[in-house]
Chains A and B, each alone.
Chain A
Amino acid sequence: MRSNKGTWLLLAPGMIWILLFLVAPLIMMVYVSFWTQTTFSIKPDLTTQSWVNFFSSDTYFGALLRTIKIWLTVLIVTLLIGYPVALYIGQFIKNKTLQTALLVTCVIPFWTSFLIRVLAWRPMLGKEGAINIILQKIGIIDAPIEVLLFTELSVIIGMVQIYVVFMVGPIAFMIGRIDESLIESARDLGASASTIFRRIILPLSLPGVIVGSIFVTVMVLGEFATASALSGRKVNLLGNIIITQVGSLKWAFAAVAGVVLTIVMAAFVAVMLRIVNLRNQI
């Protein structure tokens, strides 16, 4: 029995911290979303007015749809770009040192401030940006492409570059863990490369895909900085809505947007976790 007490003593600081500063704020957010919002203040009289306003307003409901659209686009693109890279690192690089070096190369950009990384896309994508200059020099295009900056496309490009590594890492990790003899024996038994991929590598890398998708999802859904830096405030995601609502002291409204975001995210993560048990993968 003594050992049991010791366990809970070790857990206590972390659990108290989580309850006070993670669970309580989230509950508070849900609670406040039902408060009455007047022009400059909120009153704790329960009402569903903010919820009705949210879903009946084109601006806010539109922002929800746009957020979901951009999230799904980024998710699919990061998977399409990330999987081949992870496959190369995990399966085709046999030298362990080289493998680590490649992964570290992917992670190094994270040691630059997130905001600076977002900002660095501006001189890349602009009308007189690096991409347009290079494409014009080579002679692929005559006039600069203008849709590159301050559009939804620029937001998507920026997000993909920032978050794709979170897809590559988990997948490369799972592929690298596949027992080499498994693939050898499949090959000896006459399986083609595509069969080996379909029957062995793909299913065994699935937990990596799930974990990567969860990472990308929670990060993209909580985003606002990339959108405000690369869209010239033209593309408003739910995150941006929360920022502007707080700025104008519409707390109840910000809380509604926050709760909606949480529900979308929780639903996705719950579905993903049904497919794979995270704890067994560590």
Chain B
Amino acid sequence: MDKVVSLKWFLGIFTALFVLFLYGPFIVMGILSFQQGPEGGPQFPIIEWSTYWYQHVMGYAPPSRVAPLPIGEALIRSLTLAFATMVVSTVMGVLTAQAFRRRFRGSGLVFYSVILGMIVPGVLLGLGMALLANQFGIDRNWWSTAFVLHVVYTYPFAFLVMLAIFNRFDASVEEASLSLGVSPARTFRKVTFPIIFPGVLSAMLFAFTLSYDEFPRTLFTGGSDVTMPLAIYGTFAVEIHPNLFAFGVLTTLFSFSLLVIYAILLSVSTRRQRARASGLQEDIS
């Protein structure tokens, strides 16, 4: 038994080091984002603590030798693209998963071809799409060729989430509703949807964040108007400055607020469901 206890300690320490490994770069990045500007570079030591680079990202800093990040329009494009991708891939994911509740011939083929979308590397798909667009003389734009590839990528995630939800779904409530003469559309809206809502929310979160951060697929298909990740990728070629770190900290905060919104929506929906269930029980008694 002693051996198991010491193994547990060893693995515990190993896991702690692992978490440190995961977070180390962020901590360093966070510290360096408060580097003095505009002379301070992206390395230690910190010359003087300042919020210069945050002002720089926001566009409040006086002009200097460091060019401002080309955000702004790129950010709006990325958010629009992520939103559209989220809506389309979630709807398609729900539809496909709904079809999978019944056994049908060729389900294996359909399953794997959907999954292929998340497995094929973005750079290959981007290349193929660019070639296809060239062949047919279609202009490459972030809202056309890049958008369809984003959906190809996020749709399998939405599908898998919904599939997992439907697998744990009690179909008898739906049957009860249908046998009481409620129309299928109304049954979906009033019975099915409220139950699968947490899953839909997760699927939306997945789709939005994946699309928002996606760039190998966008690189060849996005055309001349860049999205946010492409704007960052463009800065790779030149010297990096701490403004990128400040920007990284800000985007992380933004993502966390998305996560918080998701958590709040989820807890509201479960609470409402619980309230409804207890209300039903009172009605019965």
Contact = CB atoms under 8 A, between A and B. Distances in A.
Contacts of B26: 109, 112, 117, 120
Nearest to B32: A123
A238 to B, nearest CB: 9
Interface stretch (A55-63, A125-133, A200-208): A125-133
A10 interface: yes
Interface string A1-23: 00110011011011101101111
A89 B11 CA distance: 9
A40 interface: no
Contacts of A105: 19
B152 to A, nearest CB: 5
B14 interface: yes
Chain B interface residue count: which class?
35 or more
Chain A interface residue count: which class?
35 or more
B244 A15 contact: no
B124 A18 contact: no
A36 interface: no
B123 A224 contact: yes
Interface string B208-231: 010001011001100000001100
A116 B44 contact: no
B251 interface: yes
B240 interface: yes
Q: Is the interface of B mostly helix, strand, loop or mixed?
A: helix
A236 B91 CA distance: 39
Counting chain A CB atoms within 10 Å of each CB, which of B22, B152, B219, B248 scores highest?
B22
Contacts of B247: 116
Contacts of A239: 121, 123
A112 B43 CA distance: 20
Contact of B164 (A29, A84, A255, A282): A282
B44 A133 contact: yes
A279 B108 contact: yes
Interface stretch (B109-117, B169-177, B268-276): B109-117
B6 to A, nearest CB: 11
Contacts of B47: none
Contacts of A7: 99, 102, 104
A92 to B, nearest CB: 5
A161 B23 CA distance: 9
A254 B242 CA distance: 34
Contacts of B23: 109
B236 A25 contact: no
A229 B155 CA distance: 29
Given A105-B19, A113-B232, A265-B121, A161 B25 contact: yes
Given A22-B125, A113-B213, A119-B248, A85 B14 contact: yes
Nearest to B145: A21
A140 interface: no
Contact of B99 (A10, A20, A228): A10
B129 A14 contact: no
Contacts of B149: 21
A102 interface: yes
A161 B220 CA distance: 26
A115 interface: yes
Interface of A: 3-4, 7-8, 10-11, 13-15, 17-18, 20-29, 32, 81, 84-85, 87-89, 92, 102, 105-106, 109-117, 119-124, 126, 128-130, 133, 161, 164-165, 193, 214, 218-219, 221-222, 224-225, 228-229, 239, 242-243, 246, 251, 254-255, 258, 261-262, 265, 269, 278-279, 282
Given A113-B213, A165-B22, 7 more contacts: A20-B148, A120-B28, A120-B248, A121-B25, A123-B245, A161-B21, A218-B119
